[in-house]
Amino acid sequence: MKKTILGGLILSLCLLFAPLSADAQQQQSILQNIQRTKTINAGYIPYPPFVIVDPNTKKLSGYFIDMMNEIVANMGQDIKINYEETTWGTMVVGVQSGKFDVVVSGIFSTIPRSMQVTFTRPVMLVGLSAVARSDDTRFKTDEDLKKPGLTIAVTAGEVGHGYAKQFLPNAKLIVLDTPDITRPMLEVLAGRADVGIADSMSVYNFVDAHKGKAANVFADRPLYLYGTGLLLPRDLQWKDFLDQAIDFLGYSKVLDRLEAKYKKGAAEWTSLKKNY
């Protein structure tokens, strides 16, 4: 009898301290896995000033990189972030497959994306705008983009691509599969497209860098506004943690500091901060 009890106790202790099986690890929340492995697997897409890649050192910086660093620093468990580059067209698959716990480039929340993955609460609102050549005066409203015969450049998987497919059936689309969100706008300057559609932040920075050549068509009246935050798998504990962390950074003025550091002009994005 004593041997039976002792054997049962030893077996229980072995099960308690044994490494988790693959199935058991999958049943854990992402947050629990991060606490166990001390690692966050994060995807990113170069997207200045949200994500900036140093061309020499490949070191990452930018609004959302700094925000994630602040969150990890406050977790206090020696957790590191393992970053891997992805693209607008592959980021959702990367999250769905378990490759990424989060994509940190500042991702727009849309209904089609939300059918497959989820998001943190928005950190800010970013608009959808368009670039035309500075001497092209054909575009005043969104209705002007619906005229027949236009060639419009977009980035594959990016919100401008979704907008064009849904609302611009008459346009000939140039769809560029690239992480470089400025490529559609370069198509305009090269004369291969009439309009390049992209987010208001990228358009603002592109026009600022090409003064006299490019025009921000919808600077004061974005085609759309998108809540912008982190892209996540459907894991309630992980989402709740990041939502609470973002709230904390907002209340403690960290997000104000990041905005002052990275935002160049009012047309880039709209803050959701609370004024007290």
3-class DSSP string for 94-160: HHHCCCCCEEEEEEECCHHHHCCCEECCCCEEEEEEEEEECCCCCCCCHHHHHCCCCEEEEECCCHH
Q: Calculate mean pLDDT across residues 95-106.
A: 96
Higher pLDDT, 202 or 192: 192
Predicted pLDDT of residue 256:
94
Predicted pLDDT of residue 27:
64
Q: Calculate mean pLDDT across residues 262-272.
A: 84
**What distances in angstroms separate CA 109 from CA 219, 226, 228, 232, 275, one per listed residue?**
21, 6, 6, 11, 24
CB 151 within 8 A of CB 188: no
Predicted pLDDT of residue 275:
61
For the stretch 222-240, pLDDT in tens is 998 999 999 999 999 999 9
Where residue 268 falls among pLDDT bands split at 50, 70, 90? confident
Q: Calculate mean pLDDT across residues 258-271.
A: 88
Predicted pLDDT of residue 240:
97
The Cβ of residue 133 has, within 10 Å, a number of other Cβ atoms equal to 16
Predicted pLDDT of residue 265:
81
- Distance between CA atoms of residues 124 and 241, nearest Å: 18
Predicted pLDDT of residue 21:
44
Instruction: State whether residue 192 is helix, strand or coil.
Output: coil
Q: Would the pLDDT of 103 be above 90?
A: yes
Q: What global pTM score does this model have?
A: 0.78
The Cβ of residue 85 has, within 10 Å, a number of other Cβ atoms equal to 15
Q: Calculate mean pLDDT across residues 163-187.
A: 92
For the stretch 115-165, pLDDT in tens is 999 999 999 999 999 999 999 999 989 999 999 999 999 998 888 998 999
Return the CA Rg of the chain.
Answer: 23
Where residue 273 falls among pLDDT bands split at 50, 70, 90? confident
Kindly report the average pLDDT of the chain as a whole number: 88
- Distance between CA atoms of residues 212 and 133, nearest Å: 9
